[in-house]
């Protein structure tokens, strides 16, 4: 672990390095056209043609700044700007360019484009860092197409097996590995072989706290625990007009009761949340009692004991349903992420960077999942949050102002430079 000392005031060089809010905003608005939705959001699911287009855009922009862009075999992109020492792993920053089906313009995109703007600021100033600096675009952060979320950073951190990840299927049956191949972004580098000195990620908060408290910057100290489950309820397809109510084995009725259980189980705790956001009914005709339902449960809490409790309440409710409605309920846990604390030196770098830039801050735990949580297992990491309007995210109306986005990018740049200077000190260079 690096020793860390907060600078009482910025060095003259750091003071001169100011990101350009207009350039960052222009990039956000330009990339938002790739997959733009009528309601002002973005639908750019991972490993689709639209994802390829935004990746091409990102690659071209980075190469125009003299960066070398490499891609690993999970499709994650690394744009490197050389520093004084080529033998030291880069200080990296970034996020993701994939979105939810009704995603906004800022979730993920801000983290990649703020990093690009920070890098461009260094380039324009001719500033030479000690370590190389990289901008990273992680593949499939959202998990909207291929579950679970954060597959690529999970493989990067050694949490998921590469082959397992490549075999993950979307709801149409297409495999992650095939989709990656199709868009031409399976790179030669083995995922995980790309060492990082540190990783910083800017993101919109996606919740209401910063806005409610009038704070500029969230200093993110960790990410809460999360679990995903696949549930298949099997009953019997039967005629909706002729099957008397007592004779039915209605899988959707069972699903409805379990959805209620998920909600009620989460509400027993002030900090837990539980969601069913994807549900498929078969055969899907108005006059057939549904014989099969597939759905997914997303549960999160800072304390994983809450998730244990919820899990057992859901399992008990499922048993009851099987007996009462004559159904079979199969619940499969497909993702368990423990709570993840960020690195104290990286957190301190973010806090100091925000203070040096004159921003108000509060420490916070992230309710949303982020690639930084997996990267934190293999490299010191931390995150910077900026407020978003009404705390709304995973929604086409998601919004953070130009100034809020710029504040995040400025803090990111300062934190990365600060960490780079610490590395120089650690290696005994001036
Ligand atoms: C990522 O978008 C998440 O589900 O938190
Ligand atoms: Mn995100
Ligand atoms: Mn998201």
Token pair belonging to 136: 């990273």
150 in contact with ligand 1, CB cutoff 6 A: no
To which H or E segment does residue 388 belong? none
Tell me the Cα Rg of the chain: 23
- Residue 5 pLDDT greater than 90, yes or no: no
CB 69 within 8 A of CB 78: yes
C-alpha of residue 108 to centroid of ligand 3, in Å? 7
Per residue in 261-315, pLDDT tens? 999 999 999 999 999 999 999 999 999 999 999 999 999 999 999 999 999 999 9
Mutate to test the pocket of ligand 1, among 367, 370, 393 (most ligand atoms within 8 A of CB): 370
Q: Position of tokens 């925000």?
A: 354
Mean model confidence pLDDT for the chain? 96
C-alpha of residue 152 to centroid of ligand 3, in Å? 15
The phi and psi torsions of 123 (rounded to 5 degrees) equal -60, -50
To which H or E segment does residue 286 belong? none
Q: Position of tokens 């030196």?
A: 345
Token pair belonging to 277: 């956001």
Per residue in 242-256, pLDDT tens? 999 999 999 999 999
d(CA 336, CA 143): 14
User: Quick one: average pLDDT of 111-124?
Assistant: 98
Instruction: Calculate ∠ Cα 107-111-115, nearest 5°.
Output: 160
User: What pLDDT is attached to residue 429?
Assistant: 74
The phi and psi torsions of 349 (rounded to 5 degrees) equal -65, -40
To which H or E segment does residue 120 belong? helix 109-125
- Residue 10 pLDDT greater than 60, yes or no: no
Total residues found in the chain within this entry:
430
d(CA 144, CA 176): 12
C-alpha of residue 417 to centroid of ligand 1, in Å? 28
- Residue 329 pLDDT greater than 70, yes or no: yes
User: What pLDDT is attached to residue 9?
Assistant: 38
Per residue in 382-424, pLDDT tens? 999 999 999 999 999 999 999 999 999 999 999 999 999 999 9
Token pair belonging to 16: 């001169």
Per residue in 188-233, pLDDT tens? 999 999 999 999 999 999 999 999 999 999 999 999 999 999 999 9
Percentage with pLDDT > 70 across the chain? 96
Among the bound ligands, name the one nearest to the CA of residue 42: 3
pTM over 0.85? The answer is: yes
**Other CB atoms within 10 A of residue 119 CB:** 27
- Residue 4 pLDDT greater than 90, yes or no: no
**Other CB atoms within 10 A of residue 395 CB:** 17
- Count, in order, helices (H) and strands (E) of the chain: 13, 15
144 in contact with ligand 1, CB cutoff 6 A: no
C-alpha of residue 99 to centroid of ligand 3, in Å? 7
Token pair belonging to 389: 């309007």
Q: Which atom of ligand 1 is nearest to the CA of 107?
A: 2
Per residue in 22-63, pLDDT tens? 999 999 999 999 999 999 999 999 999 999 999 999 999 999
398 in contact with ligand 1, CB cutoff 6 A: no
Contacts of 388 (CB under 8 A, 6+ apart): 106, 204, 205, 206, 211, 398, 399, 400, 404
d(CA 161, CA 192): 11
> Is residue 303 classed exposed, middle or buried when 0-12, 13-18 and 19+ CB atoms within 10 A define those classes?
middle
C-alpha of residue 4 to centroid of ligand 1, in Å? 31
Strand-pairing partners, residue 130, are none
Token pair belonging to 197: 């000195």
> Where residue 2 falls among pLDDT bands split at 50, 70, 90?
very low
149 in contact with ligand 1, CB cutoff 6 A: yes
Q: Which atom of ligand 1 is nearest to the CA of 394?
A: 2
108 in contact with ligand 1, CB cutoff 6 A: no
CB 356 within 8 A of CB 14: yes
Q: Position of tokens 């001036």?
A: 430
C-alpha of residue 95 to centroid of ligand 3, in Å? 10
To which H or E segment does residue 333 belong? strand 328-337
Among the bound ligands, name the one nearest to the CA of residue 108: 2
Among the bound ligands, name the one nearest to the CA of residue 138: 2
C-alpha of residue 133 to centroid of ligand 3, in Å? 25
> Where residue 428 falls among pLDDT bands split at 50, 70, 90?
confident
Peptide bond connecting 283 to the previous residue in cis, omega within 30 degrees of 0:
yes
| 309: DSSP letter | H
User: What pLDDT is attached to residue 28?
Assistant: 98
Per residue in 331-390, pLDDT tens? 999 999 999 999 999 999 999 999 999 999 999 999 999 999 999 999 999 999 999 999
148 in contact with ligand 1, CB cutoff 6 A: no
CA distances from 85 to 90, 207, 298 (A): 9, 39, 43
Q: Which atom of ligand 1 is nearest to the CA of 298?
A: 4
111 in contact with ligand 1, CB cutoff 6 A: no
User: What pLDDT is attached to residue 3?
Assistant: 34
CB 188 within 8 A of CB 371: no
User: What pLDDT is attached to residue 430?
Assistant: 56
To which H or E segment does residue 330 belong? strand 328-337
DSSP per residue, 37-103: -TTS-B---TTSHHHHHHHHHHHHHHHHTT-EEEEBTT--EEEEE--S-TTSPPEEEEEE----TTB
């Amino acid at each position: 672990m690096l020793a860390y000392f907060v600078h009482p005031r910025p060095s003259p060089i750091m003071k001169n390095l100011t990101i350009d809010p207009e350039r960052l905003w222009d990039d956000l608005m330009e990339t938002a056209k790739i997959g733009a939705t009528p309601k002002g959001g973005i639908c750019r699911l991972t490993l689709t043609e639209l994802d390829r287009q935004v990746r091409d855009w990102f690659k071209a922009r980075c190469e125009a700044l003299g960066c070398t862009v490499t891609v690993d075999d999970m499709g994650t992109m690394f744009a490197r700007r050389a520093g004084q020492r080529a033998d030291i792993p880069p200080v990296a920053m970034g996020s993701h360019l994939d979105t939810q089906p009704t995603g906004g313009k800022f979730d993920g995109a801000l983290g990649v484009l703020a990093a690009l703007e920070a890098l461009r600021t260094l380039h324009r100033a001719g500033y030479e860092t000690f370590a190389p600096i990289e901008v990273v675009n992680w593949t499939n952060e959202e998990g909207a197409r291929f579950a679970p979320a954060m597959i690529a950073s999970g493989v990067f951190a050694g949490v998921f097996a590469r082959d397992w990840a490549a075999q993950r299927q979307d709801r149409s049956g297409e495999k992650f590995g095939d989709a990656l191949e199709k868009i031409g972004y399976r790179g030669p580098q083995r995922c995980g072989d790309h060492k990082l000195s540190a990783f910083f990620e800017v993101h919109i908060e996606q919740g209401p706290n910063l806005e409610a408290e009038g704070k500029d910057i969230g200093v993110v100290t960790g990410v809460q625990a999360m679990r995903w489950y696949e549930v298949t309820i099997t009953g019997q397809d039967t005629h909706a007009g002729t099957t008397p109510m007592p004779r039915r084995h209605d899988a959707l009725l069972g699903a409805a009761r379990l959805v209620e259980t998920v909600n009620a189980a989460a509400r027993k705790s002030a900090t837990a949340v539980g969601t069913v956001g994807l549900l498929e009914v078969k055969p899907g005709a108005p006059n057939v009692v549904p014989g099969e339902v597939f759905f997914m449960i997303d549960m999160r809490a800072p304390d994983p004991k809450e998730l244990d409790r919820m899990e057992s309440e859901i399992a008990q409710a499922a048993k009851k349903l099987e007996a009462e409605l004559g159904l079979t309920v199969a619940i499969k846990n497909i993702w368990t992420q423990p709570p993840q604390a960020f690195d104290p030196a990286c957190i301190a770098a973010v806090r100091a960077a925000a203070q040096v830039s004159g921003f108000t801050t509060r420490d916070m735990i992230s309710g949303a999942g982020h690639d930084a949580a997996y990267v934190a297992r293999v490299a010191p990491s931390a995150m910077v949050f900026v407020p978003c309007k009404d705390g709304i995210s995973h929604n086409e109306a998601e919004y953070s102002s130009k100034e809020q986005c710029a504040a995040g990018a400025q803090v990111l740049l300062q934190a990365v430079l600060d960490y780079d200077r610490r590395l120089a000190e650690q290696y005994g260079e001036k």
